Amino acid sequence: MSYSDSDGGICADCGLCCDGTLFSLSTVPSGERQSVEAAGLAVEEIDGVPSFRQPCRQLCGTRCQIYPQRPRSCRKFRCPTLRNLDAGEIDAAEAGRRIATAREAASRFRNELLPGETIPQARVRLEQSARSGSKSRADDRARLMLGALEIVLGRNFRAARQQAMTTDD
Ligand code: SF4
Ligand code: SF4
């Protein structure tokens, strides 16, 4: 996520890399755990890697509440749409259209979630129900919405299915 003038500040109206739509967690680089916890994020060991879960508790609407102190993984992540904009391959209007389309698809999927459920939790639930051969029509509908969302995300926001926002992006 970036709000810099050079990229038109498009992230300020997006938040897809923070709200659980793109990632289920963000890793915390070594040496940053203390400062990240001091900034109010709950770091835990997930598969042996210090991480915090998404949706990020420091996201308010589409904005990061600890932007100057955000972890390195957040600073480094630049989705394909932001990179396309940086490279002059698309203009800010096109970036805005892509964000609006992805946010709409995420919203349609959110309508299928259980009460209190997050997008990362729903992804896990739907994978499990598919594996168990569930015949639930509600799950089928949710999977349809998730499939549509994944297509949009795969086209413009991530190169491949990634679970975590990391410093490797
Ligand atoms: S998904 Fe891309 S455009 Fe959206 S906030 Fe993250 S880096 Fe910015
Ligand atoms: S710390 Fe800020 S930039 Fe990082 S995931 Fe949370 S809201 Fe997004």
Q: Whose CA is closest to 19, among 108, 118, 109, 167?
A: 118
Ligand 2 atom closest to the Cα of residue 41 is 1
> Which of 43, 57, 64 to mutate for ligand 2's pocket (most ligand atoms within 8 Å of CB)?
64
Give pLDDT, residue 163.
62
Can you give the pTM of this predicted structure? 0.90
Q: Which residues of the chain have pLDDT under 50?
A: 8
Give pLDDT, residue 29.
86
Give pLDDT, residue 161.
55
Give pLDDT, residue 96.
96
* Interval between CA 153 and ligand 2 midpoint (Å): 18
Given a contact cutoff of 8 angstroms between Cβ atoms, the answer to whether 27 and 167 are in contact is yes
H or E, element range at 97: helix 92-110
> Which of 21, 75, 79, 165 to mutate for ligand 1's pocket (most ligand atoms within 8 Å of CB)?
79
Given a contact cutoff of 8 angstroms between Cβ atoms, the answer to whether 119 and 20 are in contact is yes
* Interval between CA 129 and ligand 2 midpoint (Å): 30
